[in-house]
Homo-oligomer: A and B are copies of this chain.
Amino acid sequence: MEFSVLKKDRSSEARAGKLQLAHGTVETPIFMPVGTQGTVKTLSPAELEDIGAQIILGNTYHLYLRPGQDLIKQAGGLHKFMNWHRPILTDSGGYQVFSLAELRRIREEGVTFQSHLDGSYHDFSPESVVYTQRCLGSDIMMVLDECTPYPCSLKQAIDSNELTLRWSKRSLKAFQLTEPIYGYEQTIFAIVQGSTYKEVRQHSAKELVELEFPGYAIGGLSVGEPKDIMYEMTAVCTEILPREKPRYLMGVGKPEDIVEAIGLGVDMFDCVMPTRNGRKGTVFSRNGVLVVKNATFKNDFQPIDPECGCYTCQNFSRAYIRHLFKAEEILGMRLASLHNLHFYLELVTMAREAILADNYLNWKKEFLERYFAEEC
């Protein structure tokens, strides 16, 4: 992996960079569509390429349970299995073990949990999830971490973070002691935890920086805490994380969160929002959010976003897409998901251009003003 910051914005911490991975180059800041079960929901890999997706995310927890790492290994890795030839980042499964699994017991060794699919018991350890991600063959692997809920006591945050730090050391060692299975390089990122406690976050970030991971994620945010705390914690982390390494804010977020976090020096994002909201008939536009299945749009023959160049907006009206949702036709979910991901990818592209033009804060202000003007 090679990462270079091409340009740092003058008036903010925003940076435009380039991340060289085994399956291609990613221009940062970037949004990564979420492909939980080996598919970005409702969309084909060809469509993802068409809208300019440069890297997607896969969920280790889901793929480990189904179809399983052995099958994906037989297929020659996740890229081949799902026919996606650009980079993939896989999470460690930690977050899903804490949010989805039925029962879980955390010990020093790792975590035992029950599958949400069939109740079967499984163990994840820092070493096992590195191996699983070797089988998946992701360009970027993530360390196993413990995710604290919000709110969470200081003691809980400290104890949990210490465990995550010990697990991170073991993860790095496992990474160094194992080889890629498919002949191309994989890399691994650590995850800063510490809940909403500044000192714990700082301690976490400093310790992880000592370990010299190739990249760093900020985890445990966007879990219910107020927005200002999310931004504050993000800033606490980015202040410490090395400027020459990529920074990834996990699970974030709304368009406004992404543009704020870019201003704080974050390079990478993922979130289910564009696809999940799309499947429910909520779409994004430069003028804010539209619930396209609402009766308001019954006779509205404009595209979702008249300025948008995506396949959906170039070819279909709000009235038609509303009809598809009312009639429960899958094409509605497809068109809305495609548009929403296109919107997110265009958002980070515009942000990047603003950074390169040394104009990030002005651009952000204009974007947010229009986005919140509510004049759809």
B-contacting residues of A (Cβ < 8 Å)? 37-39, 41-46, 62, 66-67, 71, 74-75, 81-83, 298-299, 301, 311, 315-317, 319-320, 323-324, 326-327, 329-331, 333-335
Q: Chain copies in the assembly?
A: 2
From B38, B41, B315, contact of A83 by CB (8 A): B315
**A304 CA / B299 CA spacing, docked (Å):** 42
Q: How far is the CB of A184 from chain B (nearest CB, A)?
A: 20
Q: How far is the CB of A1 from chain B (nearest CB, A)?
A: 27
**A87 CA / B283 CA spacing, docked (Å):** 31
Q: How far is the CB of A137 from chain B (nearest CB, A)?
A: 15
Q: How far is the CB of A62 from chain B (nearest CB, A)?
A: 8
Chain B residue with Cβ nearest A83: B315
Interface centre among A42, A46, A82, A320 (most CB of B within 10 A): A320
Chain B residue with Cβ nearest A44: B331
**A197 CA / B64 CA spacing, docked (Å):** 59
Having A42-B331, A66-B327, A75-B319, one finds 14 other A-B pairs with CB under 8 Å, namely A39-B327, A39-B329, A41-B329, A44-B331, A45-B315, A46-B315, A66-B326, A71-B298, A71-B319, A74-B299, A75-B301, A75-B317, A75-B320, A81-B320
**Do A324 and B39 form a contact, CB below 8 Å, given A67-B319, A299-B74?**
yes
Q: Could you tell me if B334 and A67 are in contact, using CB atoms closer than 8 angstroms?
A: no
Instruction: Give the residues in chain B near A326, CB-CB below 8 Å.
Output: 66-67
Q: Could you tell me if B74 and A301 are in contact, using CB atoms closer than 8 angstroms?
A: yes
Chain B residue with Cβ nearest A76: B301
**Do A42 and B330 form a contact, CB below 8 Å, given A75-B301, A301-B74?**
yes
What are some 7 contacts across the A-B interface (CB < 8 A)? A37-B329, A44-B311, A44-B335, A62-B327, A66-B323, A81-B320, A83-B316
